[in-house]
Amino acid sequence: MITLGVEEEYLLLDPATALPVPLADEVRAVAGIRALATREEVKPELLQAQLEVATPVCAELAEAGGHLLRLRHAVGAAAAEAGCRAIASGAAPLADALAVPVTPDPRYLQLRGQGRRLIEEQLVNGMHIHVSVPDRATGVAVLNRLRTWLPLLVAMAGNSPLWRGQDTGFASWRTVVYGRWPVSGPPPEFTDGADYDRRVNALVRAGAIGDTRQVYWHVRLSDRYPTVEVRCFDVQLTAEEAVMFAGIVRGLTATALREHADGVPHASCPPEMLSAANWHAARYGLGGRLVTPDGHCRPAGDLVAHLLDHITPALDEYGDTREVTSLLHRFLQHGEPATRQRQALASGGIQALVDLIGLHAGDG
pLDDT tens digit string along 134-160?
Answer: 999 999 999 999 999 999 999 999 999
Q: Is 40 helix (H, G, I), strand (E, B) or coil?
A: coil
Residue 305 sits in which domain range?
4-357
Does a structural domain hold residue 144?
yes
Give me the mean pLDDT over the 332-337 stretch. 95
Amino acid at 206: A
- On whether the CB atoms of residues 314 and 258 are closer than 8 A, the answer is yes
Residue 8 has pLDDT above 80, yes or no: yes
Q: What is the pLDDT of residue 363?
A: 47
Does a structural domain hold residue 363?
no
Give me the mean pLDDT over the 183-187 stretch. 97
Q: Where are the beta strands (DSSP E) in the chain?
A: 4-13, 42-44, 50-54, 85-87, 126-132, 162-163, 166-167, 184-185, 216-217, 219-221, 227-234, 289-291, 297-299
Task: Round to whole Å and give the CA distance between 311 and 301.
Answer: 16
Q: What is the pLDDT of residue 257?
A: 98
Give me the mean pLDDT over the 126-131 stretch. 98
- What is the per-residue pLDDT across 274-320, written as a single tens digit (0 to 9) for each? 999 999 999 999 998 999 988 899 999 999 999 999 999 999 999 99
Does a structural domain hold residue 302?
yes
- What is the per-residue pLDDT across 308-320, written as a single tens digit (0 to 9) for each? 999 999 999 999 9
Amino acid at 315: L
Does a structural domain hold residue 364?
no
Element at 173 (helix H, strand E): helix 173-178
How many Å is the maximal CA-CA distance in the chain? 58
Banded model confidence at residue 31, pLDDT cuts 50, 70, 90:
low
Q: What is the pLDDT of residue 32?
A: 64
Banded model confidence at residue 97, pLDDT cuts 50, 70, 90:
low
Does a structural domain hold residue 362?
no
If one counts the domains in the chain, the total is 1
Banded model confidence at residue 36, pLDDT cuts 50, 70, 90:
confident
pTM summary value: 0.96
Work out the number of other CB atoms within 10 angstroms of the CB of residue 26. 17
Share of the chain above pLDDT 90, in %: 87
**CATH value at residue 156:** 3.30.590.20
Does a structural domain hold residue 55?
yes
